[in-house]
């Protein structure tokens, strides 16, 4: 994992890791983009969480890991099933990690609602799967209404 080196460098330079915030995520359910979305939203989050827990446990000091997910983990939307699924996977993994013996590492997951970002406003038919192309306008309208 490419981030492992960064974590080790942080551990060496600052003698440990106290707080880790995982907030990376992408939205692209297209034929060419959905695998990258899963790699980023699920594998990246789980890899970083694992390395963070290892570093915190190695130093035997309290720490906290905060993972940002989405309300769609709890309330999936049919137009974005894979995006919703990646966030459900993150939430499920973190609930499982919390059941493990992690000494003093606290794991938190924040499931945010739609946010006023360029990802929302730039959502196009190239970002969604074939199953949602007919409902794209309904989807963006529904998400924007939730922001108000």
What confidence tens digit (pLDDT) does each residue in 18-41 have?
999 998 888 888 888 899 999 999
Domains of the chain: 3-141 (3.40.50.720)
Cβ neighbour number for residue 95 with a 10 Å cutoff: 11
Does residue 28 contact residue 34 with C-beta atoms inside 8 Å? yes
**pLDDT one-digit tens code per residue, 66-114:** 999 988 898 887 778 898 999 999 999 988 888 887 678 999 999 887 7
Tokens of 100: 């493990």
């Amino acid at each position: 994992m490419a981030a492992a080196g960064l974590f080790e460098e942080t551990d060496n330079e600052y003698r440990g890791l106290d707080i880790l915030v995982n907030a990376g995520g992408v939205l692209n359910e297209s034929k060419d983009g959905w695998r990258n979305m899963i790699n980023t939203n699920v594998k990246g989050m789980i890899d970083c969480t694992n390395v963070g827990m290892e570093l915190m446990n190695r130093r035997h000091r309290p720490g906290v890991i905060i993972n940002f997910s989405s309300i769609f983990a709890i309330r999936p939307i049919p137009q974005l099933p894979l995006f919703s699924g990646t966030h459900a996977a993150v939430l499920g993994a973190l609930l499982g990690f919390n059941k493990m013996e992690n000494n003093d590492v606290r794991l938190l997951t924040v499931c945010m609602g739609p946010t006023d970002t360029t990802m929302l406003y730039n959502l196009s038919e190239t970002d969604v799967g074939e199953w949602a192309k007919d409902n794209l306008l309904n989807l963006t309208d529904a998400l924007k209404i939730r922001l108000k």
